[in-house]
């Protein structure tokens, strides 16, 4: 009977490790997966860029569709607020990455215009498109559902903070996040360099 109770306790602990923890409105993961793989995309300036080349500093990742006039613009505005919340000394220590969910519509010209319209310009801002297969592969890595419905593709209401070594550090509910808290998480990653040391840590998905 004692052995059975111990087994139940261990099983419960394993189950809890798979649950997403929500703390102060922040869904947080610490995943050992590679979230900056060697997948080549094209940025808003028509330049090829491999996600793996972004390692070395934190990367805040969002998914958009430039034709989306509501949610995507709000998510972009949240990323802009996070960038503004960073102290000037740390402003260059993060890459802000927006990936289109519909590469057929969003080519570099559309992404460049979106960057201008949303005031997300500068070296730290990357807006990326790619082949259909590449985008779908990235969406799978980030756990973003891919559906044939354009409306479903346009609304990814999460932001993903990836550590300098490519591990997933935090996932934030995009509509209810605190820019100051995300900025603080970015600063922590910039100094410590590993998802394993970030606050609010939870187990992998």
Class of the domain covering 21-197: alpha beta
Residue of 157 and 174 predicted with greater confidence: 157
Give the model's confidence band at 90: pLDDT under 50 very low, under 70 low, under 90 confident, else very high. confident
Rounded Cα–Cα distance for residues 58 and 42 (Å): 20
Residues 135 and 103 sit within 8 Å (Cβ to Cβ): yes
Rounded Cα–Cα distance for residues 59 and 61 (Å): 6
**Six-digit token string for 96:** 């802000």
Question: Which pTM does this prediction carry?
Answer: 0.79
Pairing of strands 95-100, 21-23: unpaired
For residue 34, give the nearest of 108, 137, 148, 125 by alpha carbon.
137
Mean pLDDT estimate for the chain: 81
Residues 31 and 205 sit within 8 Å (Cβ to Cβ): yes
For residue 154, give the nearest of 98, 95, 79 by alpha carbon.
98
Integer-rounded Cα radius of gyration of the chain? 18
Residue of 61 and 68 predicted with greater confidence: 61
Residues 29 and 51 sit within 8 Å (Cβ to Cβ): no
Rounded Cα–Cα distance for residues 74 and 79 (Å): 9
Rounded Cα–Cα distance for residues 70 and 154 (Å): 10
Report how far apart the first and last C-alpha atoms of the chain are (Å, whole number): 31
Report the pLDDT averaged over residues 51-58.
97
CA max distance for the chain: 67
């Amino acid at each position: 009977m004692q052995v059975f109770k111990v087994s139940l306790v261990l099983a419960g602990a394993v189950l809890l490790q798979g649950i997403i923890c929500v703390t102060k409105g922040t869904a947080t993961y610490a995943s050992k997966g590679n979230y900056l793989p060697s997948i080549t995309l094209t940025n808003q300036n028509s330049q090829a860029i491999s996600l793996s080349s972004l390692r070395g500093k934190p990367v805040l990742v969002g998914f958009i569709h430039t034709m989306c006039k509501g949610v995507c613009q709000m998510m972009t505005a949240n990323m802009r607020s996070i960038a503004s919340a960073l102290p000037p000394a740390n402003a260059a220590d993060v890459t802000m990455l927006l990936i289109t969910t519909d590469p057929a519509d969003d080519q570099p010209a559309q992404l460049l215009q979106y960057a201008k319209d949303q005031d997300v310009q500068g070296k730290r801002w990357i807006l990326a498109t790619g082949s259909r297969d590449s985008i779908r592969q990235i969406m799978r890595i980030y756990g973003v559902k891919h559906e044939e419905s354009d409306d479903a593709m346009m609304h990814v209401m999460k932001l993903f903070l990836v550590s300098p070594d490519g591990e997933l550090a935090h996932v934030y509910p995009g509509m209810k996040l605190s820019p100051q808290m995300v900025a603080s998480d970015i600063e922590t990653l910039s100094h410590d360099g590993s998802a394993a040391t970030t606050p609010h840590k939870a187990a992998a998905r």
